[in-house]
Amino acid sequence: MNQVNVNKSRYVLHGTDDPDVFIVEIDTVFDGPGQETTLSLVKIFRIRDGKIALLRDYFASEQVD
């Protein structure tokens, strides 16, 4: 079973000109039997009234089995 390796995973937060929109690049590292796998994602968030109003999630589909 693969488990997230929090120590090797990372993220980068990007602000935008719109204070209600931010972008996050995420590299999640999974430790599995005899191998390590990284899943890279980009998420775009739009916040309204302190809540997530829109979330877009992009990843390389060939990375997922």
Note the pLDDT of residue 58. 95
The whole model's pTM is what? 0.79
Query: Residue 63 and residue 40: Cα distance in Å, rounded?
Result: 8
Burial string for 22-56 (b: 16+ CB within 10 Å, else e) reads eeeebebbbeeeeeeeebeeeeebeeeeeeeeeee
Domain count, the chain: 1
Domain harbouring 12, CATH code: 3.10.450.50
- Assign 1 a pLDDT band (cuts: 50, 70, 90): low
Is 23 strand, coil or helix? Answer: strand
* pLDDT single digits (tens) 13-56: 999 999 999 999 999 999 988 888 899 999 999 999 999 999 99
Q: List the domain range (segments joined by +) for residue 12.
A: 3-63
Question: What per-residue confidence (pLDDT) applies to 55?
Answer: 98
DSSP 17: S
For residues 58 and 33, give the distance between their C-alpha atoms in angstroms, rounded to a whole number: 27
